[in-house]
Every structure is written in C-alpha cells, then in structure tokens.
Chains A and B, each alone.
Chain A
C-alpha cells in the first residue's frame, strides 16, 4: 500500500526485539489514551494512575489481593496460550471455569471425610477433567460437524453459566442463606491461606506452578512440539506424520483443563461454595491476558499481574479520585485494541520512496 511517497511494505524478517517492545508499547499507549477518559471525569490522570498503582502495590494487603486476583487470570490466560498456540480459538474459558468450579465444589461437598492433602488434589484433578471434557465437546463439534469453535465455545459459556445458576437455585440451594448458593464445602477442602490476615491462598502458588508446567509442556516436550507444529502449519505437520486431529484433541483438553483450574481456584480458594457469577469474566479476560503475553506462559504471569493490578488498583482509584471502577474495563479494552493494532507492525514497516521509484504514466495517449 502506498500513501503519497510513504510505502507500507512487508518486513522480510520481523526482528526479535519487536516481540518484547510491542506489548510494552501497547500498555503505555493504552494508559496514555486512557488518560483522556480520566480527564473527561475531570481528574488529573497522573493522580488517578498513582492511586491505581498504589491500590495494587501500595502495601502488603494490596499486593496479596492483586496476586489473589492474578491467579484465576493466570489460569485462563494459560488456557489461551495452549489453545491459541495450536490455532484452536477457544473462547470458552468462562464456561470451563464454571464447570471447574462446579466439579470442585462437588468434590468438596461429597468427600467430606477426606483429609486436606487428599481432597484438594482430588478436587484439582476433577476440576481439570471437567474443564477438559467441556472443552473437548467443542473440539468434537469442530471435527465431526465442522462447527466453528469460536461460536461453539462462546455459546457453551452461557450453557454452563446458566447450568451453574440453575443448580444453585435448585438442587444444591442452601436453604439457610438468602442469596442462592450451595452449602459451604467441607473445611478440609478450603485452599489453605498461606499469609495470615490476607486471602493469599494455595491457589496462587498452584497457578504459578501451572504456568511453569504449561511452559515445559509447550516448549520442552514432544506434545508441545506437535501442538506448535500443528498451529504453525497443519499441512506441514500432517506431511511430517503428526496426527493433526489427535493433537487438537489433546490441545483442547489441556486448555479446557487449565481453565477449569481457574474455577477450582475461585471455588475452593475464595468462595468455598458454588455461587452464581462466581467469575466476573475471568474467562473472557484470559483472552487479553494470553494475547498480551504473545502466548508465552512465563510472559503470561506478567500479563496476568498487570490485568490483576488494574482490577485491584481501580477500587482505590475510585475511592481517592472518584474515577469509576468501570474505567479499568475500558482501559483493558484500549490496551487490547492498541496491542492488536500494533501487532501488525511486526509484519510491516514504513518506508519513504526514493524519487526514482515513482509510479509511471502513459507514454502516449491519454486516459
């Protein structure tokens, strides 16, 4: 494409530095654009951002709260890393989170005699399998009925959210409470609090360990090799002897399972029961978290911390400056849009045309 003498041309080789620079630039640019929104609220953006930062990292309590919020985002972000690496566009993390929560609460209500060191791993495994199975259904629909996974996974979110809702209104309803919810799970199923006086629970550590495990799977194992090969070039993978369908099945299961762990984290780490709206959209935010880190599991930790900081910090920002919490959702959106827009810069560059390269005209005759 050419605008005047400015030519937009493809980069022959996208340099490595740009992969790191682009997410950072898009975060900064997103915050800059967001500052105009803050100015609409008649607040000094620097002051708002100061409280945003303070509310996330200002003291021990804020820090642990940020990390507690990071944990579900990290799980769903990792689920995105796995699925998107294989170019399986799983947008169903929210539903997979809900089914994971449902499964872990079921374990917590059923195996009440088990000690903590048994019931917690059991709940973890069951939540993983529940998420994996739910995601696998979308994989099945894709390969048997050629249903687009973006559509099916989004729709399946609502199926699962409404299923959980009907369960807490109906069969699992705790009659002693006003709000529809299940009974509290057995005490041994509570994820232990690791720092006294905060909500910093075991789930945060499990999330960080999962990030390392996902990194190892994707980059150090033959499974990961297949997943990356299928994502990068399914035809080439098939030619080399990789079973593309089996690889996608494996991918959906890992992705859905990890998203299911976000439900485990919320159900047994925070709520200790099943409630409606157990997630404020962590599953959807996972897409942003994963994309911002360019699908790298270790980078996803940083990206999850960033989005968690926006969530926790925004409450302080609202209290101190009156900028509404809702603004952070706008900020998230802006950062993501800027990221997606700047990502194309990786493939293209601008070049000024030299005089000799000008376009031609008709030598003889007119048009």
Chain B
C-alpha cells in the first residue's frame, strides 16, 4: 500500500527530557491510524513535528515518498497536512467563514461560505458559516477546525485528542466524518488514550511510551487488553522501600462528592472514599478525568454540587481555603507555577504564603522579617533548595527547586492531610526520588496522603490503596498487592474498559 507519510528515526529533545526517541511512524493512504499512549508519551510532540511546529534533532520525514523539511505549519499545509489541536486555534469574535479563510487568499466571503457549505454537506459537518465562534459549542468548534483543514484541501488530517471535549453523541458524529474522509482516500491520524475509541475507529494502532514506539499493530490482530499492556506496562525501575506504618483512624472521608469543571460540565460523579492516618491513597488515571477537580474540592478551591467531605469528623463543605488549611490540610497543587507559588514575590515571601497572617510571621499586623529570614534559611537548608538567596525573586528558580519550595511550605505546617497532585511532574530523577521519599516520611509521621498522579509507576509504588478514575468516577479501588500484580487491570480501568463491582 502506498504511504502518505513516513517518519524515520525522529528524535526531539526538550531541556531535560527526550520527547521522541528515534520514532518510526508510517501512514498509509486512506487509513485511520491511531497514536496511543499516556500523557507525555510523545504523541503530540511527534505530530507537532509532522505539522512543522517543532524541528526534530534528527530523523527525516517523507511525504508521498519525497523527503521534505518542514519549517512551519505553512509548509505542512502546502504539502496537504492539516492538524486540529487539542486546544482550538479559533478567533472567538470572528465568524466561521472568517476563521476558515484566515491566512489564505480569497475573493468574496459569500463564495467561500458556499464552498464551506458544500464541504459541510459532503462530510456531514453541520455548522452555520456565518455564526460567530463564541456562539458555538465545543463540538461545533471542532467541526470548524476540521472544515478549516478540508478547505485547505488536506490529504492528511491529524486530530489531537479530539474526543475529550465531545459528548458521546458528538463523538459518534465525528467518527462518521472520519470514515467518510477515509472512503475518499484521505488519511487520518487519531491521537488518543481511550482504548474503546481507538478500537472502534482505527485501521492500525501505534503505541508510544516514554518517547519510544512500542509497537504498530493492525486493529484486527489486537485487543484492548493487549493495548493496555503496551501502553502502561513497563520495566519496574528502582522502587523505594515503603515503610511499615500502622494505619490509624479515618482522616478524610468523601461521600458521593460531585462537582463541575470550569466549563460547567460534570467533573466528579458521586466519588466516595476515605483515607486513614499513615496511609497513602493513590489516584491513577489519564489526565482530565476529574483528578484536578478532586484535589480542588477537598482544598476548598472548587464548590461541590453534592455530597460531603469530612476531615477528622469536621465538615469541610462550604469552608474557605484558609479555614480548610487551618484544620490541617496541605496542598501540593498540580500547577506549581500558576497556583502553588507567587513567582513575582521573593523566596522568603513564598515560604509564608499560607501563614503570613498569623504569629509568628505576623506581629500585630506587621510582617516579622527576621523570623521570615530565619524560616527561609532553615527550609532552604533542610530541603536542599538551590537559590541565590532568601530575597531572590522566585521566578528565577528551576522547576525542581520551585517544587521543593512548595513542599517545604506545605509539609512544614505539620499537616494531618496532604493533597499531593502531580508532585513530581516534569522533574528530574533525583528530585523525583527525593520528593517521593518526603511523602513516605510524612506517611511514617502519621499523615494521611492523597496522591494524585498521571505517573502510574509513582502511584503503584507509593500507595497503600489505589483508586482508578475515569470520566469523573472511581472505577474501583485496589490494594497495593493487587494493583501491582495485575497492572493490565489498572490499564483497562484507566481506559474505562473495566469497572470493579
């Protein structure tokens, strides 16, 4: 079969991480080819290279058998490659037509609108050409993005996690559009981590993990189970020794907790679990399945739409973030740059952002700078934070040191419950191990820890119990032994293909 795209030995290095490591990938004409893998596996990076957004360190790209060098998306489009990003690139105050013609030469908008209508009818992409983007639902906006590519006459369409913003109905509609494109000889690359969708739509599937291709298989020759194993199964690297800790009484108790996400869609559906003293309770799952919202409802940053949250018997619902902190909750947020720290303030100011209003930092309303200096010096030494000094602006520190500041502050308040969201994301091996050790130390001290991580190995190796989240629900709770023995089951639950009774 003729190849539309062939990528050979693609390597892309970002500071501190190899996003793609000698990746080979090929796309046949008229096929739907899925790229499957966890977050950070390198799927999007690989496609951004094909779309001309990134330049690879090495490797070559062939389109229709000819080697090309793509400098920008403009080059890619001229070779017939279109891409719909996960975050749409539409201009909200403009109309559909205006968005579609942007960057092209066109005559009358009316003629363009006619052509769009024609394309829309042909592929079943129903959308009003004269509507403003801000008026459209996420599903409709995606159709505009696809129309944008079709209008540019692409032969290869890349869709990056297209179904995350769609309802079930819209997903079905999208799939019929893709099948229609396929029947006309166009090729589609479908990036996803949802096994059922991949199995429904693909002809072939390439599984990526840690920037490497694990395998490329025909849909007919594989199963969800096999794919899950390829996606998450990994050689167990060095594992930290989990200390023997006596598990005490219940610290945190969630009952039927529900909430909405920022877009007003249901993010948590009836989540219930409890965490005990000295216990690490892990949440595994692919990003965007409600984990972020879970951390936010517990710490008071997001309102509940139902259910109850109790900490040591006290009701937390309706309390402010400060009141919840006062009860003994610490929070290591997943976004350390925008949430966990105030980057334009100094290091010593960031150490006290949770406690500046009370003694000993506050002396009748005045900041006690000598205490702040002492505290900062102590924490910098204790946690091995590399900074030019206590008065340095926090922004200049590296990612690992930023996270150490967050942890130093959050752990130094002697919390009863620690909500740790993606505590080691994007950090180097050494810092990652250090932070995991810190969490285990807190466990030994009797703190209850909610560990939310996309890094499955992290959750599996540290947690006493593991809950798997999928689309705002807990698919089941496994203990350490069962989860580590049956990693495929965890993979299936993460992909929504299995639920425990």
Q: How far is the CA of A359 from the CA of B331 in the complex (A)?
A: 44
Cβ of A367 within 8 Å of any chain B Cβ, yes or no, is: yes
Identify the stretch in A22-30, A88-96, A139-147, A230-238 within 8 Å (CB) of chain B at 4 or more residues.
A230-238
**CB pair B340 A236 closer than 8 Å:** yes
Q: How far is the CA of A13 from the CA of B388 in the complex (A)?
A: 12
Q: How far is the CA of A362 from the CA of B60 in the complex (A)?
A: 12
The one of B342, B361, B396 that contacts A13, using a Cβ cutoff of 8 Å: B396
**CB pair A220 B366 closer than 8 Å:** yes
The one of B75, B301, B341, B365 that contacts A362, using a Cβ cutoff of 8 Å: B75
Q: How far is the CA of A222 from the CA of B361 in the complex (A)?
A: 9
Beta-carbon nearest neighbor of A13 in chain B: B396
Contacts A222-B367, A363-B69 given; indicate if A233 touches B342 (C-beta within 8 A). Answer: yes
**Could you say which residues of chain A place their CB within 8 Å of the CB of B301?**
238-239
Cβ of B344 within 8 Å of any chain A Cβ, yes or no, is: yes
B401 to chain A, nearest CB (A): 14
Contacts A221-B365, A239-B301, A239-B331 given; indicate if A365 touches B68 (C-beta within 8 A). Answer: yes
Interface string of A344-367 (1 = CB under 8 A from B): 000000000000000111111101
B56-94: which residues lie under 8 A (CB-CB) from chain A? 66-69, 71, 75, 78
**CB pair B339 A236 closer than 8 Å:** yes
Contacts A220-B366, A241-B321, A241-B325 given; indicate if A236 touches B69 (C-beta within 8 A). Answer: no
Contacts A12-B396, A222-B366, A239-B301 given; indicate if A229 touches B342 (C-beta within 8 A). Answer: yes
Cβ of A240 within 8 Å of any chain B Cβ, yes or no, is: yes
Interchain pairs with CB closer than 8 A, number:
91
Q: How far is the CA of A52 from the CA of B71 in the complex (A)?
A: 56
Q: How far is the CA of A227 from the CA of B75 in the complex (A)?
A: 48
Cβ of A223 within 8 Å of any chain B Cβ, yes or no, is: yes
**Could you say which residues of chain B place their CB within 8 Å of the CB of A360?**
55, 69, 71
**CB pair A362 B69 closer than 8 Å:** yes
The one of A237, A365, A367 that contacts B66, using a Cβ cutoff of 8 Å: A365
Cβ of B357 within 8 Å of any chain A Cβ, yes or no, is: yes
B335-372: which residues lie under 8 A (CB-CB) from chain A? 338-345, 349, 353-354, 356-357, 361-362, 365-367
Interface string of A4-24 (1 = CB under 8 A from B): 000000001100000000000
Binding site for A on B (CB under 8 A): 55, 66-69, 71, 75, 78, 299, 301, 320-322, 325, 331, 333, 338-345, 349, 353-354, 356-357, 361-362, 365-367, 393, 395-396
Counting from the closest, the 5 A-B pairs by CB-CB distance are A241-B322, A240-B353, A232-B344, A363-B69, A233-B342
- List 13 additional A-B contacts (Cβ < 8 Å) besides A225-B356, A229-B349, A239-B301: A13-B395, A220-B367, A222-B356, A222-B361, A232-B344, A233-B344, A239-B299, A239-B333, A240-B342, A243-B320, A362-B68, A363-B69, A365-B67
The 25 listed contacts between A and B (C-beta, < 8 Å) are A13-B393, A13-B395, A222-B356, A222-B362, A222-B365, A225-B356, A225-B357, A229-B345, A229-B353, A232-B343, A232-B345, A233-B338, A236-B341, A236-B342, A239-B333, A239-B340, A240-B321, A241-B320, A241-B354, A242-B353, A359-B71, A360-B55, A362-B75, A363-B67, A365-B66
